[in-house]
Amino acid sequence: MRLPLYQSEMLKNEPLIKQIGRGNAGLRFNKFFMHWGKDWRIEEGDKDKEGGKMRWIKTISEHLVGNRSLLSEAVERLINLVDNRGGEFRCYRTIWRFATGLGLNHPIENGMTWHHTLGVPYLPGSSFKGLVRAWVEQWLGLSDDEINRIFGSQETGSNNEKIGVGSIIFFDALPVAPVRLAADVMTPHYQKYYSGSEAPGDWQDPNPIPFLTVDEQQVFLFALAPRKIGVPENQSDIEKVWQWVDQALQNVGAGAKTAVGYGRFERCEQEENKLRTALMQRKEKQEAEKASTIPPQLSGPIADEMLKDQYDADPDKFLNILKTKWINKMQSDDTSPEDQKKIALLLKNWYQVHREGQWEKPNKKNAPIIEAIRKTLGEIA
C-alpha cells in the first residue's frame, strides 16, 4: 500500500509535522492526519487502545495552538482598525466548550474552522453577524425594516448579490492569546434510525464520534464598526448591537451544538481593560512622536528616556539634566560605544532644534559640552 508523503521515513520525524506546538496547527490538523490503517481505513480502537480519530485529536489538543506574538500583532491591528473607524471592541470568554466548523470535511468526520494564517480556531465575521441577526429575528420582534437597515437585506439581485448592506460591520472574532483545545465525544445511539433505515431500538450499538473543541475560559476579541464613519445613527446602532451580542452569546451561543450548551460566552472586562490600556499607550506614544523633534532613525529606549526628561516639553529643564546626567552617561565607560554615539547624536539634534545657532557658534557656557559631543561623534580629534 502506498503511504502519503508525510508518512514516509524521510518526513515522519520532521519537527513541523511531529510537534503541534510549532507551525500552523490548523494546517496540520486538516492536511496531516497520520492514523490510516490497511486499505486506507482509519485505525480502529479497542478496550486497551484508542482509535486513530481520538489519538489524532489528542495529538492536536495536547499543546496550546497559535503563536503569541503573531496573535498579539493581529489583535493590535484589529483594534487599531476598529478604533480608527469609530467602532468598539469587547472581549468574551468561553463559559464551556466552543465547537466551530464541525460540518467541514475531515477524515475524523468533524472538522474545525481554523484561521488560515494564524492557525487558531476563530469565529468568522459572517458567523458572528448571523448569530446576532438570528437572535434579533427570533427573540426581539424587531421590524424587518429595522433588521435590514442594521444587518443588510437578505434579498438577492440577478447576480446573487445582496441588494443592500447593513449599517454595522462585524469583524472576525479572534483569540487574544494561544488557545487551549479539548477532545470531546458525541455518541449517537440510534445511527440506523438517523439514517432512515431502521426504527430506534436498544439493540443498536452506540457510535462514539470524537471531535475537537475550544476549551473553556478562552478569551476572544469581538469587534464592530459603523459602515459609514461619522454618521450619528450608525454610532447609536453599535450600542444597540452590543446589547444583542451580550444576549446572544450568553443565551444562544456561537458555533455548533449550541442546543446542548456549547458556544456560550461571558464578557471578560479584565482583558478588555488591558487591551484598552495598551491602545491608549500607543495613542499617547504616537502623539508624542508627532510632537517630538527626534528623527525616526534616532528613536528607541534612549530617546524615550530623554523625552521623559523633557527633551521637547521643557528645553530649559532638559538643559540642566543634559549637563548633570546625559554628558556623564555619554562619557561613561559603562556605556557601550554604540549608545555613546546615539546619545551624542540626540544631544546634537537637541542643540540644533532648541538652541538655534549655538551648535555652530557655542557660547562660553556651552562650548565644553558641545566640544565633548563633537569628540564622541568624531567631528574633532
Residue with more model confidence, 13 or 338: 338
Least confident of 155-159, 172-176, 187-191, 294-298: 155-159
% residues pLDDT > 70 (the chain):
89
Say if residue 300's pLDDT is above 80. yes
Q: Note the pLDDT tens digit of each residue in 226-263.
A: 999 888 888 889 999 999 999 999 999 999 999 999 99
Q: Which residues contact 245 (CB under 8 A, 6 or more apart)?
A: 90, 132, 222, 224
What confidence score (pLDDT) does residue 48 get? 63
pLDDT band at 35 (very low <50, low <70, confident <90, very high): confident
Is the pLDDT confidence value at 61 over 60?
A: yes
Residue 209 vs residue 223, higher pLDDT: 223
Give me the pLDDT at residue 255, please.
94
Q: What is the mean pLDDT of residues 137-150?
A: 92
Q: For residue 265, give the H/E element and its range.
A: strand 265-267
**86-118: pLDDT as tens digits:** 999 999 999 999 999 999 999 888 999 999 999
Cell of 2: 502506498
Q: Cα 203–205–209 angle (5° rounding)?
A: 155
pLDDT reading at 197 higher than 80:
no
The more confident residue out of 50 and 166 is 166
The residue with greater pLDDT, 82 or 3, is 82
Instruction: Give the tens place of pLDDT for each residue, 342-370.
Output: 999 999 999 999 998 999 999 988 999 99
Site of grid cell 483569540 = 175
Separation CA 254–CA 279 (nearest Å): 27
With contact defined as beta carbons under 8 Å apart, do 212 and 57 qualify?
yes
Q: What percent of the chain has pLDDT over 90?
A: 65
More confident residue, 153 or 73: 73
Q: What is the pLDDT of residue 18?
A: 55
Over residues 66-71, the mean pLDDT reads 95
Q: What is the pTM assigned to this prediction?
A: 0.76
Mean pLDDT of the chain: 88
Question: Of 20, 51, 21, 22, which Cα lies nearest the Cα of 36?
Answer: 51
Inter-CA distances, 22 with 15, 187, 196, 220, 340, Å: 8, 32, 44, 21, 40
- 3-class DSSP state of 181: strand
| pLDDT band for position 1 (cuts 50, 70, 90) | very low
- pLDDT score for 33: 86
Rounded distance between C-alpha atoms, residue 259 and residue 252, angstroms: 8
pLDDT beyond 70 at 122: yes
Task: Give the least confident one: 37-41, 239-243, 245-249, 310-314.
Answer: 37-41
pLDDT of residue 23: 82
| 10 pLDDT more than 60 | no
The candidate with the shortest Cα–Cα distance to 329, out of 308, 312, 315, 346, is 346
